[in-house]
Amino acid sequence: MGKKKLVVLTGAGISAESGFETFRDAGGLWEKYSVEDVCTPAGFRRDPDFVNGFYNGLRRQLLSAVPNAGHTTLAAMERDFDIDVITQNVDDLHERAGSSRVLHLHGELMKVCSSRDKDDPRYIRTLPASAPEVCPGELCADGSPLRPWIVFFGESVPQLDAAAERVRQADAFAVIGSSLNVYPAAGLVRYVPEGAPAFLIDPKEVDVPAFLPVRVIRDVASTGVPRLWEALKEIC
C-alpha cells in the first residue's frame, strides 16, 4: 500500500520562528510600510526602485534566516507520508529544509520577472545568494522594469487551481501558522475531502470554519509539527 497523502497549508507563523519578518502580525511589515506603496501594481508603476528596494531588504533578511524545526520536521515526515506543501509564504525555507513538493501561492521572494507579464516563464529567474538585489533602474530582458515575482494585491493567484486540486486529493490535511484570514488562499479548506482528518497548528486562537472538523494543536510550529506527526501515525 502506498503512502497516505498529507496536504499542508502553511502561513507566516511557520517562518516567524526562523526570524523572517511577518506581514500581518503586530509589529509586522504592514505596520511599517504602506501596502499600496510596496505591494500593488500601481505602487510599482509609481516607484519601481522603491518597491525593489523593499524586496531587496527582505531578501537580505531571508538569507540570514534558517529553517526551524517546523520546516525540517515537515520535510522528515516524507518518510511516512506523501506530502504536498502549499504555502502562502514567499520565502524558500521549506525547500531549504528539504521538502520535495512546495507550491507557492503568492510567488517567491528570490525570483524576479518582467513587469509587463509577471508569469511569462521566459523572464522568471532566481537571484543567486551572492547577488540578491535588483539595482535601481534594472530592466528585464523584455525591456520592462524588473520586478519581484510576487503576487501583488489586486493580482490573480495563478497557482490557486493547482492548489485546490492537491487539497481535493488529500487523505489528511493540516494548516500550520496561518490565520485563515487571507483569501483566496484561506478558501482552500473548502476542498478538503469529507472524512479526511484535519489539523490546525497555531499558538494563537484561529477562527476555524464551522464546516471543517479540526483538531487544534495550540503550539508553535517547531514543537507543534512533531505533535502532528505523532497524531497522524495513530490514525493513518
Query: What is the rounded CA–CA span in Å between residue 17 and residue 221?
Result: 8
- What pLDDT shows up at residue 30? 45
List strand residue ranges (DSSP E) for the chain, in order: 5-10, 82-87, 102-104, 107-114, 125-126, 146-150, 172-176, 198-201, 215-217
* Confidence (pLDDT) at 21: 66
**pLDDT tens per residue across span 162-186:** 999 999 999 999 999 987 766 677 7
CB-based contact 150:90 (threshold 8 Å): yes
Amino acid sitting at position 182: V
Domains of the chain: 5-235 (3.40.50.1220)
C-alpha to C-alpha distance for 39 and 53, rounded to whole angstroms: 12
Q: Cα(236)–Cα(225) distance, rounded to whole angstroms?
A: 16
pLDDT score for 31:
54
Radius of gyration of the chain (CA): 18
Residue 102: what pLDDT? Answer: 98
Tens digits of pLDDT across the chain (236 residues):
689 999 999 998 899 889 876 555 444 554 567 888 889 999 999 999 999 999 999 999 899 999 999 999 999 999 999 999 999 999 999 999 999 999 999 999 999 999 999 999 999 999 999 999 999 999 999 999 999 999 999 999 999 999 999 999 999 999 999 877 666 777 899 999 999 999 999 998 877 777 778 999 999 999 999 999 999 998 87
pTM: 0.92
| Catalytic residue selected from 71, 94, 104, 106 | 106
DSSP percent split of the chain into helix, strand, coil, nearest 5:
35, 20, 45
Residue 71 known to be catalytic:
no
